[in-house]
Amino acid sequence: MKTLFRGGRVVDPANGIDGRADVLIDDGTIARVGRDVPAGDARVIEVPAGFVLCPGFIDMHVHLREPGQEHKETVATGVAAAVAGGFTAVACMPNTSPINDNAGVTEFILGKAAEADLARVYPIGAVSVGSNGAQLAEIGELREAGCVAVSDDGRPIATALLMRRALEYTGMFGMPVIDHCEDPTLKADGVAHEGYHASALGLRGIPAVAEALMVERDVTLAELTGAPVHIAHMSVRGSLRAVRAGKARGARVTCEVTPHHFVLTDEALAGYDTNYKMNPPLREAADRDAMIEGIADGSVDAIATDHAPHHYDEKHVEFDVAPFGIVGLETAVPLALDRLVHAGHIGLSRLVELMSVNPARILGVPGGSLAPGAPADLTILALDHPVVVDVATFRSRSRNTPFNGWTLRGAVAVTIVGGRAKYVNPVVTGLDALKGRPSAVVREP
Amino acid sequence: MTTDAPATRIGDDEGRGSAGPPAGLHVKHLLGIADLSPDDITLILDTADAMKEVGTRAIKKVPALRGKTVVNLFFEPSTRTRTSFEIAEKRLSADTLNIAASTSSVTKGETLADTVLNLEAMSPDMIVLRHAASGACHLLSRICRSRIINAGDGMHEHPTQALLDAFTIRERKRRIAGLKVAIVGDLLHSRVLRSNLLLLPKMGAQVWVSGPATLIPPGIERFGVRATWRIEEAVEGADVIMMLRIQRERMKGHFFPSAREYFKIFGLTAARARLAKPDAIIMHPGPMNRGVEIASEVADGPYSVILEQVANGVAVRMAVLYLLAGEVATEAMPA
């Protein structure tokens, strides 16, 4: 089954392409990308102006909550949210119940993903058994079962010694250790960024150095061991400084920033809406601006959402008591297009690097490129289409987002995984040839 | 009455004038000083003047809130504030109900929102809420029909305390504008501080805050006050010294090593108090830790207005209840 997307703008920085090109897909893989590709017996889809074809976006930091917390999200609803958000693949964190520290849980997750048959799922295994920081998990077995990285996310990797050994050990398998960088004693019982706004609102503060100090530790250990470390959800300029310095010294360090950390600041806390409560917390404007600068100048490697679904009941409580986290899969692309691309900070090539090329490279998974033979995973953007964020349309089981009602410019039009359209945005017109195809639509179980 | 504020004697029909009902507050709830303008604050203080007079009568009652139900919903223990509100409510003839957290459904795992919504189903007119979580009142204001009065939410605000502090200062000093007010103690964890930091500069006072560097809130410069860990600098030439309570639990968070050292460096001793103006007044929201933040001789001395604060608290809370009830109180109030 061949499909030819003809005449659209293709942005494929891994292969130096940004311009009008045709994309020929054959049976789930990219056959050819170029000008005036002959259609042959392929089904031809004319791509109108305003659409951009990119290698499929990969969200390397999501929480799918299954097994154990299915009231928040399941693998099925999570991957439905992913394709609706333009993601062809996600990497899911191990802080499920039970924790993904063994092949059994990894295989369970992969089984659910195969059943849902929407976005690809790459499990991230735990660094330590139960993520309790006391004993290494069987990382070799996790790798064999299908994990692409390890992390104790939700918590920092507990001690410098454990981090060192984890880097050395995991490095053998060519996988990165992903750290949620935070000194637990400095974070203590904080719930918001330590600064003027937390002081005014009477909220216990989490100082920026709680993150930056741990980033320094990890960068130094990555340098010592020569093994790769990836800094999860970086939020403060002190961390970025440490990452830049480490990279300059040749350390194998990469980092990601979430959309909420390049859009929002702690000023949003007034009113105590728990949809502004996450960890790391929303920081001050100078940090948010530094994240944008890092995104633009290449110091930041990836945009990842830290998609953290929570049930309404859990969030509809006092700020102190509410769990940290917001969903992100279904708002990431419009936020990135509106606040980074249309705002003039970066071009589309850079965006594709941040959301496809680099995540694929860091995790060592296929994708990030439309070279012949690559999987036919595509994210098709409607570059100028307006989006009004509406939680009623979310595929995610949870609704905990601060962006409900926001008007943004730039939408996901189509998400294609393995050559099949897994999501076609009902409000975007122009690629109607793809509608009515037997693309998988998730029904709530 | 003891001040030159415009006379609004409660029960005096002439006081209402021909303009109709008295101007009310433009807020539905009292969530914090943050929502009050200087005019609002002046109105509350002036009304409290009149309410104070009620407390001197043989029959300490006016019918302003007769038939209205006020619930005191206290999730944190309190003697002073709860009693003060209860007396204020009863003097206004309201039906009062006290609910303490330990006896409420919270011990059965009910959320704050559900606890209050269930209460609301029984149609209270006002809820006075004290809770350990900053922003608890904001949460409720989004779901409640009743008027909410914040009696202290976590570390955020304690607006009636700041109002009674202002009333006390105004009563003793005849004004608030231009005074140097020093606030000393555990600034970081104090809702009394935050409310006073919002009120005093709004009313034109010059505020200095002081405490160990570990307990000075980040971003304090943005509150429009001077901050120093040297208490002597803060109290020098002050017209008002307000001491805040030190909680011994703070020693566990490494905020300061011991009560002994705290008193030595930061305690309000007689010697330090003498650095202030000769007629400076000494205040404390209570309860006091004698010998930790304040020396007994100062607390019990001639310049201490600590007990007056308590008395004024009833009058100020009567004023707040009366003004918030607004259109609720429709009839003139006979003496």
Q: pLDDT, tens digit, for every residue of A371-380?
A: 999 999 999 9
Q: Judging by DSSP bridges, how do beta strands A229-231 and A205-206 pair with one another?
A: unpaired
Per DSSP, which regions of A94-160 are E strands?
120-125, 149-151
pLDDT higher than 80, residue A65? yes
Residue listed under structure tokens 């703008």: A9
Q: Do A318 and B157 make contact, defined as CB atoms within 8 angstroms?
A: no
- Identify the band that residue B334 occupies on the pLDDT scale cut at 50, 70 and 90: very low
**B112 to A318: CB separation less than 8 angstroms, yes or no:** yes
Higher pLDDT, A432 or A36: A36
The pair of three-digit structure tokens given for residue A137, joined into one six-digit string: 């998990």
Q: Is B158 on the interface with A (CB under 8 A)?
A: no
Nearest chain B residue to A193, by CA = B218
Give yes or no: B115 in active site: no
> CB-based contact (8 Å) between B135 and chain A?
yes
Interchain CB distance below 8 Å, A200 and B223: yes
Mean pLDDT of B84-90: 97
Whether B247 has a pLDDT exceeding 90, the answer reads no
Assigned token pair, A208: 């920026």
Does pLDDT of A34 surpass 80? yes
Q: Of A22, A152, A287, A306, which is the active-site residue?
A: A306
State yes or no: pLDDT of A260 exceeds 80.
yes
Kindly determine whether residue A272 and residue B135, on different chains, have CB atoms separated by under 8 Å.
yes
Q: Give the residue-averaged pLDDT of A163-167.
A: 98
What is the count of residue pairs from A and B with beta carbons less than 8 Å apart? 64
CA–CA gap between residue A247 and residue A253 (Å, rounded): 6
- Among the partner residues B133, B194, B217, nearest to A319 by beta-carbon distance: B133
Among candidate residues A373, A369, A366, the one with its CA nearest the CA of residue A31: A373
pLDDT at A422 over 70: yes
If you average pLDDT over every residue of chain A, what do you get? 96
Residue A353: CB atoms within 10 Å: 23
Q: Which range, of A73-87, A103-117, B146-160, B315-329, averages the lowest pLDDT?
A: B315-329
- d(CA A36, CA A6) in angstroms, rounded, equals 8
Longest dimension (CA), chain B: 62
Question: Among A195, A313, A319, whose Cβ lies nearest the Cβ of B135?
Answer: A319
B chain contacts of residue A201, beta-carbon cutoff 8 Å: 134-135, 156
Predicted confidence at residue B102, as pLDDT, reads 67
Report whether pLDDT(B22) > 80.
no
* Residues 6+ away with beta carbon under 8 Å from B163: B33, B41, B44, B45, B48, B199, B316, B319, B320
- pLDDT at B212 > cutoff 50: yes
**Torsion angle, CA of A207/A209/A214/A217, rounded to 10 degrees?**
-170
- Chain A: closest CA distance from residue B198 (Å): 9
> What is the residue-averaged pLDDT of chain B?
89
What percent of chain A has a predicted confidence (pLDDT) above 70? 98
B23: DSSP letter? P
B chain contacts of residue A271, beta-carbon cutoff 8 Å: 138
Active site includes B79?
A: no
Q: Is B216 on the interface with A (CB under 8 A)?
A: no
- Among A187, A266, A272, the strongest candidate for a mutation testing the B interface, having the largest count of B CBs within 10 A, is A272
A260's enclosing H/E stretch is: helix A259-263
* The pLDDT of residue A426 is above 70: yes
Position A1 scores a pLDDT of 86
B218 inside 8 A of chain A by CB: yes
More confident residue, B6 or B161: B161
Average pLDDT over residues A221-242: 98
Give the dihedral sign, CA B137/B138/B142/B147. Answer: positive
- pLDDT at residue A412 greater than cutoff 80: yes
Task: Encode pLDDT of B304-323 as tens digits.
Answer: 999 999 999 999 999 999 99
Picking from A194, A201, A314, A317 by the largest number of B CB atoms within 10 A of its own CB, the best residue to mutate is: A201
The tens digit of pLDDT for each residue in A193-223 reads: 999 999 999 999 999 999 999 999 999 999 9
Mean pLDDT in residue range B104-128: 88
> Largest alpha-carbon pair distance within chain A?
67
Interface of A with B (CB under 8 A): 188, 194-205, 271-272, 313, 316-321
ipTM of the complex: 0.88
* Cα B51-B56-B60 angle, rounded to 5 deg: 70
Residue A6: pLDDT over 70: yes
Secondary structure letter of residue A434 according to DSSP: G
Q: Which residues of A touch B218 (CB under 8 A)?
A: 194-196, 198-199, 205
Query: Does residue B158 carry a catalytic annotation?
Result: yes
- pLDDT for A165 equals 98
Q: How far is A244 from chain B, CA to nearest CA, in Å?
A: 27
- Check: CB of residue B254 under 8 Å from CB of residue B214: yes
pLDDT above 60: residue A254: yes
State the nearest Cα–Cα gap between B308 and chain A, in angstroms: 28
3-state secondary structure of B294: strand
- Residue B13 clears pLDDT 70, i.e. is over it: no
pLDDT tens for each residue of A89-104: 999 999 999 999 999 9
Which pLDDT belongs to residue B23?
58
Residue B101 has pLDDT above 90, yes or no: no
Whether residue B139 and residue A318 make contact (CB cut-off 8 A), yes or no, is yes
Q: What's the pLDDT at A438?
A: 43
Q: Which residues of chain B does A265 touch, with a Cβ-Cβ cutoff of 8 Å?
A: none
What pLDDT is attached to residue A429?
Answer: 87
